[in-house]
Amino acid sequence: MFACLFVPEFPLQASILNVPTDAREVLRRSPLVLLDGPSSLLKVTSLNNAARSFGVKIGMTKLHVETCNGVLLRKRFATDEESAQEALLDCAAKFSPRVESTCPGTVILDLTGTTKLFGSLERMSCKIAVLARQRGFHLRIAVASNPDAALHAAQGFEGITIIPAGDEANRLASLDVRQLPATPEVHEVLDSWGIRTFRSLAALPPIALVERLGQEGLRLQDLAHGRINRPLLPVESVPDFVESYEFDDPVETLESLAFVLNRLLQEVCARLVSHSRATNELRLTLDLEVRQLQKSQEKEHYRHEWKLPVPTQDKNMLYVLVRLDLERHTFSAPIKRLTIEAISVKPRVAQGNLFAPPSPEAEKLEITLSRIRGVVGSNDAEGINCVGSPAILDTHRPNAFTVQSFSSVMEPQSVFAVVPAVALRVFRPVLETSVELTGKTPHFVRLWKRLRRVLAASGPWCSSGNWWDGTVWSHEEWDVAVKTFEGIGYYRIYLDRLKQQWFVAGVFD
Amino acid sequence: MQYVELHARSAFSFLEGASLPETLAQVCSSLNLPAMALLDRDGVYGAPRFHMAAKQHRIKAHVGAEFSITDSSRLPVLVESRLGYQNLCRLITTAKLRTKKKTVATSSLEEMCGHAEGLICLTGDESGPLANALLQGGISAGRDVLNKLVSVFGRENAYVELQRHSSRVQEARNQVSVELAKELHLPLLATNGVRYAMPAERQIADAFTCIREKRRLDTAGRLLSQNSQRHVRSTEEMERLFSDLPEAIANTSELSSRLDFTLEKLGYEFPRYPVPDDETIDSFLRKRTWDGARLRYQPVTQRVREQLEKELALIEKLHLGGYFLIVWDLIRFCHRNGILVQGRGSAANSAVCYSLGITAIDPIGMDLLFERFLSEERGEWPDIDLDLPSGDQRERVIQYVYERYGQRGAAMTANVNTYRGRSAAREMGKVLGFDEETLSRLSGIVGSWEWKDPDDTMERQFGHSGLDIRHPQIALYLDLCQRVQDLPRHLSQHSGGMVICQGQLDAVVPLEPATMPGRVVVQWDKDDCADLGLIKVDLLGLGMMAVLKDSIELIHDHYGEDIDLAHLPQDCPDVYETIRKADTIGMFQIESCAQMASLPRNNPIRFYDLVTQVALIRPGPIVGKMTNPYLNRRQGKERVSYPHALLIPVLERTLGVPLFQEQLLKMAMICSNFTGGEAEELRRALGSRRSQKRMKEIEAKLRAGMTANSFRKETQDEVVQFISSFALYGFPESHAASFALIAYASAFLKVRYLAGFTAALLNNWPMGFYHPATIVKDAQRHGLRVKPIDVTSSDWKCSLERDAEKIVVRVGLRYVRGLRQNEADILTQERLIRSFASIEDLSRRVPQLSKSDLAMLARIGALNNLSDGRLHRRDALWQVERAVRKNGPLLDGIEEQDTKSPLSQMSVEERLVSDFYGTGLTTGPHPMAYRRDDLRGMGIESAVDMKNLPDGKYATVAGCVITRQRPGTAKGLIFMTLEDETGTARVIVKPDFYENNRMAVLYERFVQVSGTVQNRDGVVNLIAKQIGPLAISKAETSSHDFH
């Protein structure tokens, strides 16, 4: 015998599964709809009976639903449904080792031999329902001699349904034919024929049906009779790639930590290899033994994660990465537990690009960058990435640049064609200065704390932009020649017109 | 030394300029610049508006354009003489016509060689040919380009252009340009490459750049402008900038003085009509007019003779004979080809037009003002609009014009699409990088109903949608949205206006290909054409004209009677009786809910009442609060009074209430001493919706005139209110008369030849106000039998059949969902050879019919009559599935032994659902009819019974919603029409009730509404107090909604 657990309006139930029990029950009673689709056109994908009584229907747009005062709206998230399906499978697995994840919100259990453990089919069904209710599901359960009959009965009947073997056709007869797994075209034909129930489909002459719908028609008729017996496709457990070690005595030295780290990484990587997986994201968690008095000031955990440019199974490389990070840090309390988690992905199977410019291996590059970060830090005082290659920004704002992460893959970049005849050494940060004008032209400029006469000036070169946000700027630049101790120096100065302040931007070599 | 800006772009460079030509002219004038040249991209789109504005500001408007040339640069060209202008237009036309729409039309310098006379070229800015050559190949390439320009345009006609926008790269280029100019002895010319009138408009220019490049402001980078210096600059500023090169400034005024051409000297000439050698155009027109008059006026009275002589004399004086003959020629073409045609608009004021057969309104009989059509004093060109059956026949007439005057001799006028609330909201949101959801919300809040709250400002709309307008980003967005309002977005084709020219039209205005194949369009809209004296003929498609034509043919074939629309029996009592009862579904112009609600009050008894009826329900009279006073006076409930005794002769015909444009013109002339020309300006400002500002100026002038004539303040307010409310839309009397004629014809045909009219109406749908389901039900209520679609009898179109001596309508195959005409035609041809024996036979002989076609035919019962009518719909569906499943050659053709299906017959509800799904209508009983007993038990009145309920009674009606309207003039009221088997009932939904019952009002197909009956003057409405869905049927009935 097989039992099917069916969660009506599964997306909606999944969306409130993680809500505290009391609040969840309030939500169940309230008119609640779940919206899905592109943000510009959200539509109702699931709803409860209370919402139906407000006139809401599947497929209505958010705009339409908002016109019904009092209806609560929630957005659909795939992760909610994934975790709810996990919970449902977990619930089913308490009663049978063979559980099929048929579709979201539906699982089928093979009950063969379980009655001795859990009692009669009715009692077992009740136990399943109670457990599911505790986990937050309101579901329907049907038991039948084959998986499909159980599935259709669960979808079609409320509460718990037990169908004795041989009575399937009779019990399923009143079900809606739209429950059958057929293409929309076949459903359209059945609908146009006025075939609404399993009974009316089962009653059609089989040969004439095959002449019209082919073997598909016959299969559907067998399903309507409840006489197809297919094998169950049980789910297999998915291994996790997490290893943890709790020290008997909290450790304070890197060597003790590194020893355990090496062993844990070895185990994680061996498991990745045995499952033909690799990782592109590694997470380290250290639980610190923070004393009671320190708790308010100190963190109890240290967490760090590495996003790798390519998936890897290389234990040594991972070890070096983690160790370099640990070397950079000092902890305020001894470490009592070490946890390593690898996020598994498919291993890299393609070769590197033959036409890509020569570059270090991605793994080696990552280690090198990590070493550099250890020396110079990750970001500078202004929050700009310190490790990477500089890139000029596409803007009229003078001297605008960013630092991009290194990449082993060369991306096409727009080439800024202007190749200046002379080099400008840019001051970062720019130097504040003062300027005396004759008319609108600079006459004296203060440089290195001394006022210097401007021998020649070219300008003004004006630029302004970003008027649409808070980074608006407006500069008036001059290129000036001034007399200095070393002879004539050529400088670029500018007036920030918004601050009404002069700056020296750089010197021409 | 006076500076002249000789290189400016307006917003008519479509996303490459940020100011309207009028703004440029105004700023130019305020900076005391004597002239300016507008050089829009690949066209002279903005030139007429710039010309008119420049005239107003007393500056000179030079004409020019920026040519896209083959090296991807833009060559600025100025027009020196008329020949130059003609060359410019032809060059643009040639490039445009050989280029696909939405791609850049380019010309080569070689191509310009033969067409450069009268043109002066500049070397351009950073997108010009010189800058392009310097960038690509350095000084030598620059020298080559300059030599090439000199060889094409001549040494004295090529200027090296210099611009200074505080840019290092530009200045470097300037230095090289100056050197090259010296070397080649070319003059320098300073310009500012204007893209907007004032520095602040740089933001709009940046936003437009983003729209053009499909970027956001924060990702557009250096595509945006470097600074805000491309505005109109004064002489002093330019002299300061070019203090080192004073000759570059001096040359601007010198060059300006050379540019002799303005659009005053356009040289447009309407084509001459070819006449026999012994005739002149005028003598030929005179003969044709008298020939026509003798037919039309029987007899030709002294009054007719005098009027015709007067009109002919004026036409001769204004040299417009050719124009009338050309329109007459179009009318003859239509008559030769059996195309129904009728002139409307102000042409209906002319007895010559009536005699030539251009219009069907007798202006003498109707006592219409000829001066509204043509007046020597106003110097205005006549404007003749021709209504043609929409669709192929109208296209034939348009193609005839092209054929007759050549591809470059005639073209459609353009429509300038401008940024409006919703488009501005959406595009500015994109530019600022708002996400899709916010964009949808923002553009959604720009109201979708026609009705708008008086305080419905953009700020308020934003506030309602939960956007904080104090947030800098939102405030900026709002600011941008408001600033781009009314700026041109793109050019499209006007629905019917055609311009024709003697010789070549492409020498008068550049032509472009329209999106529709075989059509060309001029670069100016109809107002621009009128401003510059181009005469246009409007060839407008009117669905009802096609209905009238089809009805006449059906009546000829099936009733054996010939109908001549020009000689319909006038004032038929039964026709007016029907109209008075507002039984007008399907009738032209008088079928809408608002028209129906006013018909019993207006109580039309003669043709002129229909003319006022047509003009009455327009936004102009409604907003001007003229409708109710007129109707009250009509019913004798209100005394007829006049704002001023001077206005009695003008307003007498309409009981002291102005309803027509002509009356407003006369009022302006009498009250404010407007001249004919000023009155014409007023009319165009009212009609075009071009500018609020223009309206304000006119209002000030009106008031000044009335003050001078000692009108009291209250009278002034009343007159201004009358006149300004027509800005929303008002009809000229002659136009209303033309429409009334069609309305009367449609009413006459419906009353006397219901079958023919209904079939024609169904064959020309979509048109009019009601869905075919309503048209069929209405016809059935009037006793017409409508038979369902049947493959053994139906043609593609709805047809007439005789059944027991009665003429009935057979619904055509065109109403079968998804069926194409080609397949239907093959089916009807096969049927002519031999009738179909079975579904199998039909499927075999018409293999073009797909499975879904056959299934749809079976589903709607169109196959029931195969197999001697023994089939029901499910039998047919059962057989179709087998017929379409091919068995292979061995078993092919073997008929099924047992054709009886195991399926049960469709229920009534299933048949209804199938009918509406498959055809959008049912020929069987109305869905409400099946439930009448239940409904009666529920205390629900039928539509016909509701009409007899007393005012103030609380009642409930129910039905299928067939229309929902929220007119802009109804203060937020929603009007619903419910239909049941007895007729239609009108429901009024007030705004607060709507807010609480949106779902039922907007989305339910069948509703029951309870409320108070409003029964006044025979007009019955129900004021909704309760509304709810009614479970009648799942049939997908349709409602014609105007949200």
Are A346 and A308 spatial neighbours (Cβ–Cβ below 8 Å)? no
Count of CB atoms within 10 A of residue B807's CB? Answer: 19
H or E element, residue A63? helix A62-66
Domain A238-348+361-409, classified CATH 3.40.50.150, yes or no:
no
Q: Which of A40, A55, A64 sits opposite B437 (nearest CB)?
A: A40
Q: Which is more confidently placed, A296 or B206?
A: B206
Write the residue in A55, A461, A465 that is nearest to B166 by C-beta: A461
Pairing of strands B188-190, B158-162: parallel
Taking the CA of residue B167 and the nearest CA in chain A, the distance in Å comes to: 5
Cα separation, A196 vs A176, in Å, equals 6
Q: How confident is the model at residue A412 (pLDDT cuts 50, 70, 90)?
A: low
Map tokens 């400034």 to a residue: B249
pLDDT higher than 70, residue A381? no
Would you tell me the crossing angle of helices B573-580 and B733-752 to the nearest 10 degrees?
A: 100
- pLDDT given for residue B682 in this prediction: 76
Chain B hits for A439, Cβ within 8 Å? none
Look at residue A361 and tell me whether its pLDDT is greater than 80.
Answer: no
Question: B474: nearest CA in chain A?
Answer: A468
What contacts B854, CB < 8 A, 6 or more positions away?
Answer: B839, B842, B843, B863, B880, B883, B884
Contact flag B999-A55 (C-beta cutoff 8 Å): yes
Kindly list the residues from chain B whose CB atom is less than 8 angstroms away from the CB atom of residue A213. 881
Nearest-CA neighbor of B617 among B607, B625, B627, B609? B627
d(CA A201, CA A195): 6
Confirm if B962 and B984 have CB atoms less than 8 A apart: yes
Q: Is B986 left (phi over 0), alpha (psi -120 to 50) or beta?
A: beta
Contacts of A468 in chain B (CB under 8 A): 203, 217-218, 432, 473, 476
**Residue-wise pLDDT tens digits, B921-974:** 999 999 999 999 999 999 999 999 999 999 999 999 999 999 998 887 777 889
* Nearest alpha-carbon partner for B112 in B161, B81, B149: B149
Number of H helices, E strands in chain A: 15, 21
Residue A34 has pLDDT above 90, yes or no: yes
What's the start-to-end Cα distance of chain B, in Å? 60
pLDDT in tens, B447-474: 444 444 445 566 665 655 556 667 788 8
Arithmetic mean of pLDDT, B1026-1031: 93
Inter-chain contact B224–A396, Cβ cutoff 8 Å?
yes
For residues B347 and B373, the answer to whether their CB atoms sit within 8 Å is yes
Check: CB of residue B13 under 8 Å from CB of residue B204: no
For residue A189, name the pLDDT band (cuts at 50, 70, 90): very high
Q: Give pLDDT, residue A415.
A: 43
The reported pLDDT for the residue numbered B687 is: 59
Report yes or no: A31 and A53 within 8 Å, Cβ to Cβ. Answer: yes
Say if the Cβ atoms of A192 and B224 lie within 8 Å: no
Give the pLDDT of residue B676: 64
Q: Who has greater pLDDT, B256 or B697? A: B256
What distance in Å separates the CA atoms of residue B910 and residue A194, rounded to the nearest whole number?
Answer: 9
For B227, the closest of A39, A212, A463 (CB atoms) is A463
pLDDT band at A484 (very low <50, low <70, confident <90, very high): confident
Give chain A positions within 8 Å (CB) of B167: 461-462
Q: Give the model's pLDDT for residue A411.
A: 53
Query: At residue B867, what are phi and psi to the nearest 5 degrees?
Result: 55, 45
* Model confidence band, residue B896 (pLDDT cutoffs 50, 70, 90): low
The model's pLDDT over A323-359, given as tens digits with 9 standing for 90+, comes to: 888 887 888 888 989 999 999 888 876 666 667 666 6
Residue B532, C-beta contacts closer than 8 angstroms, at least 6 positions apart: B48, B51, B263, B266, B268, B524
Question: Among A377-381, B318-322, B385-389, B1016-1020, which stretch is predicted with the lowest mean pLDDT?
Answer: A377-381
Which of A38, A212, A463 lies nearest to residue B882, judging by beta carbons? A212
What is residue B174's predicted lDDT score, i.e. its pLDDT? 95
Q: Is B473 on the interface with A (CB under 8 A)?
A: yes
Instruction: Please determine, looking at this structure, whether the domain spanning A2-161 carries the CATH number 3.30.390.10.
Output: no
Put simply, whether B472 touches A (Cβ < 8 Å) is yes
Side-chain-side CA neighbours of residue B102 (13 Å):
2
CATH code for the domain defined by A166-225: 1.10.150.20
What is the H or E stretch that residue A433 is in?
strand A424-433
- Would you tell me how many other CB atoms lie within 10 Å of the CB of residue B212? 13
Q: Do B440 and A41 touch (CB under 8 A)?
A: yes
Q: What band does B673 get if pLDDT is binned at 50, 70 and 90?
A: confident
Beta bridge partners of B488: B418
Helix (H, G, I), strand (E, B) or coil at B799: strand
Domain boundaries defined on chain A: 2-161, 166-225, 238-348+361-409, 424-508
Six-digit token string for A458: 């070219």
Q: How confident is the prediction for chain B on average, in pLDDT?
A: 88
Report how far residue A180's alpha carbon sits from residue A193's, in angstroms, rounded to the nearest whole number.
Answer: 16
- Which residues does chain B have within 8 Å of residue A461's beta carbon, measured at their own beta carbons? 166-168
- The CA-atom distances, in angstroms, between A106 and each of A89, A103, A228 are 9, 5, 19
| Mean pLDDT of all residues in B271-281 | 88
Three-state DSSP state, B496 = strand
**Selected residue of B907, B999, B1043 to mutate for chain A interface (largest A Cβ count, 10 A):** B999
Taking alpha carbons only, the member of B902, B848, B827, B844 closest to residue B872 is B902
Q: Is the peptide bond before B299 cis (omega within 30 degrees of 0)?
A: yes
Tokens of B685: 């400002």
- Which of B226, B435, B896 lies nearest to residue A396, judging by beta carbons? B226
Amino acid sitting at position A484: T
Shortest alpha-carbon distance between residue B1035 and chain A (Å): 14
Residue B119: CB atoms within 10 Å? 26
Contact of B573 with chain A, judged by CB distance below 8 Å, is answered with no
Which residue in B847, B838, B856, B854 sits closest to B895, CA to CA? B838
Q: Give the C-alpha separation, A223 to A381, whole Å.
A: 69
Pairing state between β A32-36 and A72-75: parallel
- Check residue B668 and give left, alpha or beta (phi > 0: left; psi -120 to 50: alpha): alpha
Report percent pLDDT > 90 for chain B. Answer: 58
* Residue entry with tokens 């690949």: B42
Helix, strand, coil percentages for chain B (3-state, nearest 5): 50, 15, 35
What ipTM did this prediction achieve?
Answer: 0.73
Secondary structure string (H, E, C) spanning B458-485? HHHHHHHCCCCCCCHHHHHHHHHHHHHC
Q: Is the pLDDT of residue A416 over 50?
A: no
For B31-42, the DSSP string reads TT-SEEEEEEET
What Rg do the C-alpha atoms of chain A give, in angstroms?
35
**The pLDDT value given to residue B899:** 64
Distance (Å) from the alpha carbon of B515 to chain A's nearest alpha carbon: 30
- Rounded distance between C-alpha atoms, residue B741 and residue B564, angstroms: 13
d(CA A405, CA A369): 10
Q: State the best of B203, B211, B227 to mutate against chain A, taking most chain A CBs within 10 Å.
A: B227
Q: Are B266 and B533 in contact (CB under 8 A)?
A: yes
Closest residue in chain A to residue B207, using alpha carbons only = A468
Of B439, B902, B1000, the CB nearest to A40: B439
Q: Does A259 touch chain B (CB under 8 A)?
A: no
CB–CB of B474/B462 below 8 Å?
yes
Measure CB to CB from residue B228 to each of A189, A464, A468 and give the nearest one: A464
- Residue B327 predicted with pLDDT over 60: yes
Over residues A138-152, mean pLDDT: 95
pLDDT in tens, B395-446: 899 989 988 888 788 899 999 989 887 788 889 999 998 877 677 767 766 5
Mutate to test the interface with B, among A191, A193, A210 (most CBs of B within 10 A): A193
Helix H or strand E segment including B763: helix B754-763
The reply to whether omega before B766 is within 30° of 0 (cis) is yes
Per-residue confidence (pLDDT) for residue B456, from 0 to 100: 53
Neighbouring C-beta atoms of residue A299, cutoff 10 Å: 13
With a pLDDT cut of 70, the percent of chain B lying above it is 93
Query: Is the pLDDT confidence value at B729 over 90?
Result: no
> What does chain A come to in residues?
509
Does any CB of chain B come closer than 8 Å to the CB of residue A419? no
Interface A-B, measured as beta-carbon pairs within 8 A, has a size of: 94
Task: Say if residue B786's pLDDT is above 60.
Answer: yes
User: What whole-number percentage of chain A has pLDDT above 90?
Assistant: 47
Question: What is the torsional sign of CA B523, B526, B532, B536?
Answer: positive
Binary contact (B878, A212; C-beta < 8 A)? yes
Contact (Cβ atoms closer than 8 angstroms) between residue B965 and residue A33? no
Strand partners, A426: A506
Average pLDDT value for residue range B256-283: 89
